[in-house]
Amino acid sequence: MNKILIIGGGAMGSAFTIPCIDNNNKVTITEPYSKKFIKNLRSKNKFHSSLKINLSKKLKFRDFSIELLQQKFDLIVIALSLSGINFIGEKLQKLKIKTPILVLTKGLKYEKKNNKILTISEQLKKNYKAMNISVLKGPCLAKELARKNQTSVIIANKNIKIAKQIGKKISTNYYLVDFSKDIIGVEVCSSIKNIYSMIIGSGNSLNMSSSLFQKSIVEMQYLTKYFRGKEETTLGLAGIGDLYVSAAGGRNSKMGSYLGKGFTFRQAKRKFMPNDTVEGEQLIREIAPFILKKINKKRIPLMIKMINAILKNKKLII
């Protein structure tokens, strides 16, 4: 029996406890700052307000602390929002933890000083000297995983042996795991698909959305290769697979539909999605300074149009 610590009690972190427990692991979850999720996980029935289910009675909740991180675990899973990466990175750096780390968080970071885009794994390795890092991405909606709907994901690590060791710990008959050495490509694809799902969602017909889907894949291939990932990764679970899920029913696609109807981003956010996080919009604000300066705009016309629509708060015209 392996001991797994999951840091992040949101929808994805909590849903991830389910296959881990079903694979006979001893699972502990902690939440650093959300009072709502702390209350959910502390409760007797462990009813999760986002997933709308009771989590397993076998799941243990512990208050976040340095002492908890110092305990012996076989795997540490980071399931925080992108803004929480610096927070947990600093904690892990001080403790010099050598436990294998699996990152569920999706996103990219613009390093202004060096004018460079970093993936989360690169950020953790560079800034916090964390070495044994794998990433898990793919078309996985937390609510569907929580209900044990068949789900396929991909674990990436340059050392494929480590990725497979982690996969053995967490896979079940409904949680299927594939593997890749292309950790950068997997991270880039899983991040930029949030922007392209907004673009696909802006189509005013299935015909138009289908065309935008195809053009989005072409741009994702170019960007993935630009950032030193493998072009073929775009056609895998972290690329086209994740893009399909997001375009079919995610928050980014929903925002895109309002932009396609002629609303500006601010209008749509205020009127229709005031309490929703739109990851694609956040990513645009993070990486746009680099994209606009360094990338050949003719190769990514859809992304440039979405960047201008968000940053200048203008109507999106595809």
Summarised one tens digit per residue, pLDDT across range 33-46 is: 999 999 999 999 99
Residue with tokens 């029913």, as numbered in its chain? 249
Task: Label residue 249 by pLDDT band (50, 70, 90).
Answer: confident
Q: What percent of the chain has pLDDT over 70?
A: 100
188's enclosing H/E stretch is: helix 183-201
Confidence check: pLDDT of 56 > 90 = yes
Q: How confident is the model at residue 76, as a pLDDT?
A: 97
Would you call 176 helix, strand, or coil by DSSP? strand
195 and 246 Cβ atoms separated by less than 8 Å:
no
Q: How confident is the model at residue 219, as a pLDDT?
A: 98
Rounded distance between C-alpha atoms, residue 14 and residue 16, angstroms? 5
Point out the least confidently predicted range of 119-133, 183-197, 249-263, 265-279. 119-133
Largest Cα separation within the chain, whole Å, is: 56
Task: Label residue 300 by pLDDT band (50, 70, 90).
Answer: very high
Q: Which of 139, 163, 135 is nearest to 151 (CA)?
A: 139
* Mean pLDDT, residues 227-233 taken together: 97
78 and 9 Cβ atoms separated by less than 8 Å:
no
Q: How confident is the model at residue 238, as a pLDDT?
A: 97
33 and 24 Cβ atoms separated by less than 8 Å:
no
Task: Label residue 163 by pLDDT band (50, 70, 90).
Answer: very high
Rounded distance between C-alpha atoms, residue 133 and residue 135, angstroms? 7
* Residue ranges matching CATH 3.40.50.720 in the chain: 3-181
Fold for domain 189-311? N-(1-d-carboxylethyl)-l-norvaline Dehydrogenase; domain 2 (1.10.1040)
* Mean pLDDT, residues 190-203 taken together: 97
* Residue ranges matching CATH 1.10.1040.10 in the chain: 189-311
Q: How confident is the model at residue 129, as a pLDDT?
A: 83
Task: Label residue 95 by pLDDT band (50, 70, 90).
Answer: confident
Please state the φ and ψ torsions of residue 51, each to the nearest 5 degrees. Answer: -80, -20
Confidence check: pLDDT of 130 > 80 = no
pTM: 0.94
Amino acid, single-letter form, for residue 55 = L
DSSP state of 71: S
Task: Label residue 48 by pLDDT band (50, 70, 90).
Answer: very high
* CB neighbours of residue 84 within 10 Å: 18
Would you call 55 helix, strand, or coil by DSSP? coil
Q: How confident is the model at residue 59, as a pLDDT?
A: 98
DSSP state of 237: I
Q: How confident is the model at residue 107, as a pLDDT?
A: 94
Rounded to the nearest integer, the mean pLDDT of the chain is 95
Confidence check: pLDDT of 250 > 90 = no
Q: How confident is the model at residue 211, as a pLDDT?
A: 98
Fold for domain 3-181? Rossmann fold (3.40.50)
Burial class of 308 by CB neighbour count within 10 A (0 to 12, 13 to 18, 19+): middle
15's enclosing H/E stretch is: helix 11-22
